[in-house]
């Protein structure tokens, strides 16, 4: 076994990325305080061909050195928009068929293993503040909540870990479902 060289990865240019068909997934970062986390979310969103990121409330936005340090250029490839509060985009997302799903522990959260998205559904996944979770406003906008199972003494993951888990799970389930449909 040997590591793949960067030049052998055949990465596409940003202009090619912009033309690629994106997954029907939007990320909403609800009042994140860490600019490094914001950058990492951009980078992971690029990897999964996410349609757009909404930066809400106190969440920092590009251009920013701390975001760029972890985004590694993904702020240029992934479409994004800043909004002051999630309620400013709730109606337009729902009117266009997007389901708003919190990634949060609530009294009505479904377990991630029980989340069964189909390849034709559109999801806006909301990730909240590193200390306080999603805002009350996001709670009122959501169609449902998803909880990532955890088995240790801690009751939360870093937001970037949660984002990676949820996006991988969604990709895996919808790609499998898409193949099973014969598409």
Beta strands 50-56 and 122-128, pairing class: unpaired
Q: Work out the average pLDDT over 158-177.
A: 93
Half-sphere exposure of 8 (CA within 13 A, CB side): 4
CB atoms within 10 A of CB 106: 15
User: Which pLDDT does position 180 carry in this prediction?
Assistant: 54
pTM recorded for the entire structure: 0.94
Please tell me what DSSP assigns to residue 158. Answer: -
**Is residue 181 predicted with pLDDT exceeding 80?**
no
34/134 Cα distance (integer angstroms): 15
pLDDT in tens, 21-38: 999 999 999 999 999 999
């Amino acid at each position: 076994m040997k590591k793949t060289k960067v030049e052998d990865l055949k990465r596409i240019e940003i202009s090619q990325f912009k033309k690629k068909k994106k997954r029907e997934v939007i990320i909403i970062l609800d009042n994140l305080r860490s600019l490094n986390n914001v950058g990492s979310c951009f980078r992971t969103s690029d990897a999964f061909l996410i349609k757009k990121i909404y930066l809400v409330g106190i969440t920092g936005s590009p251009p920013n050195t701390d975001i760029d340090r972890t985004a590694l250029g993904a702020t240029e490839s992934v479409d994004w928009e800043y909004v002051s509060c999630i309620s400013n985009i709730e109606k337009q997302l729902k009117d266009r068929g997007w389901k708003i799903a919190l990634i949060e522990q609530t009294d009505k959260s479904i377990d991630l293993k029980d989340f069964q998205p189909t390849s034709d559904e559109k999801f806006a996944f909301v990730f909240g503040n590193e200390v306080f979770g999603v805002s009350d406003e996001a709670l009122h906008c959501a169609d449902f909540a998803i909880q990532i199972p955890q088995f240790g003494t801690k009751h939360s993951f870093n937001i970037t870990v949660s984002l990676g888990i949820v996006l991988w799970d969604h990709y895996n389930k919808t790609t499998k479902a898409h193949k099973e449909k014969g598409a």
